[in-house]
């Protein structure tokens, strides 16, 4: 008698469970927006996969969704479902994703930290080194009040790029500062011969990921645009002159 497939969970994907053999490096999903849940998951889950929705979810209802990508698609899916108080089971063997309300299958409901914070305008990130205009303004997360208990103050993290250094040198410094959940620090994989000198001071306040995102918004206007993607499981920051697919 054949035993049922083993269901696995991961602390990295609290809103997901999975069965079957996971590929070593799942495909990347892009940052995006969609007017419905069905359209959002169609952009995140790889093409050719089947997506099943539990009764009562109504994936066609208009509910504008936004998600941060440039990461392996299960991480992107996990963050979106946690934000929407949902969960999913990934079957790697049959290439099927089954979506349900959080807590309906014995898995605790997961809420996104992003849903519990509000942002206030931060300091200007500085001069855009290519156009001479002001850089993108970053935001600093401010913890909301929960049950009248004031949370401890969290000192915002500052990420800086010094005049005279290069983009590659800056990212090498940033990745060695960022701790990896698996131990050690993040690593930089520079997959291009293109590099840029920092001609104006840049400063960003927030998380490692938000600083990377804000920095590469500036380099999207360079003569040769550069793109960044993260592999969270391996704690690797990938930089290339080709847009991630």
CA distance 164 to 194: 16
Using CB atoms within 10 Å of the CB of residue 111, give its burial: 0 to 12 exposed, 13 to 18 middle, 19+ buried: middle
Using CB atoms within 10 Å of the CB of residue 29, give its burial: 0 to 12 exposed, 13 to 18 middle, 19+ buried: buried
Q: Name residues whose C-beta falls within 8 Å of residue 223's C-beta, 6 or more positions apart in sequence.
A: none
Tens-level pLDDT at each residue, the chain (245 residues): 444 456 666 677 788 998 888 887 788 889 999 999 999 999 999 999 999 998 888 888 888 899 998 888 999 999 999 888 899 999 999 999 999 988 654 444 333 343 333 434 444 444 444 433 333 433 444 444 445 566 666 677 889 888 889 999 999 999 999 998 888 899 999 999 989 888 888 888 888 888 888 888 777 667 888 888 888 888 999 888 887 66
Domain ranges of the chain: 7-101, 120-240
pLDDT tens profile 196-224? 888 888 888 888 888 888 888 777 667 88
Q: Name residues whose C-beta falls within 8 Å of residue 193's C-beta, 6 or more positions apart in sequence.
A: none
pLDDT tens profile 217-239? 777 667 888 888 888 888 999 88
Q: What pLDDT, on the 0 to 100 scale, is given for residue 104?
A: 55
Q: How far, in Å, are 36, 39, 40, 170 from residue 62 at the CA level?
A: 5, 10, 11, 41
Q: What pLDDT, on the 0 to 100 scale, is given for residue 190?
A: 93
Q: What pLDDT, on the 0 to 100 scale, is given for residue 13?
A: 78
Residue found under tokens 């992107």: 76
The candidate with the shortest Cα–Cα distance to 39, out of 17, 63, 18, 73, is: 63
Q: What pLDDT, on the 0 to 100 scale, is given for residue 120?
A: 41
Cross-strand bridge partners of residue 34: 65
Q: What pLDDT, on the 0 to 100 scale, is given for residue 5?
A: 52
């Amino acid at each position: 008698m054949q035993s049922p497939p083993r269901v696995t969970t991961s602390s990295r994907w609290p809103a997901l469970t999975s069965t079957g053999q996971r590929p070593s490096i799942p495909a990347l999903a892009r940052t995006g927006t969609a007017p419905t849940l069905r359209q959002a998951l169609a952009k995140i889950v790889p093409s050719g996969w089947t997506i099943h929705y539990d009764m009562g979810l109504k994936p066609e209802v208009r509910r504008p969704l936004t998600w941060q990508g440039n990461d392996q698609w299960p991480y992107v899916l996990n963050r979106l479902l946690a934000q929407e108080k949902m969960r999913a089971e990934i079957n790697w063997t049959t290439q099927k994703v089954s979506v349900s309300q959080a807590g309906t299958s014995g898995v605790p409901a997961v809420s996104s930290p992003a849903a519990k914070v509000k942002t206030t305008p931060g300091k200007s990130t500085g001069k855009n080194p290519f156009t001479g205009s002001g850089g993108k303004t970053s935001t600093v997360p401010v913890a909301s009040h929960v049950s009248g208990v004031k949370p401890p103050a969290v000192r915002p993290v500052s990420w800086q790029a010094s005049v005279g250094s290069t983009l590659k040198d800056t990212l090498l410094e940033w990745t060695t500062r960022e701790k990896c959940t698996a131990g050690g620090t993040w690593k930089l994989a520079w997959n291009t011969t293109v590099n840029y000198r920092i001609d104006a001071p840049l400063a960003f306040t927030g998380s490692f990921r938000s600083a990377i995102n804000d920095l590469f918004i500036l380099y999207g206007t360079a003569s040769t645009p550069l793109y960044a993607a993260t592999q969270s499981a391996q704690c690797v920051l990938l930089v290339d002159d080709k847009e991630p697919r």
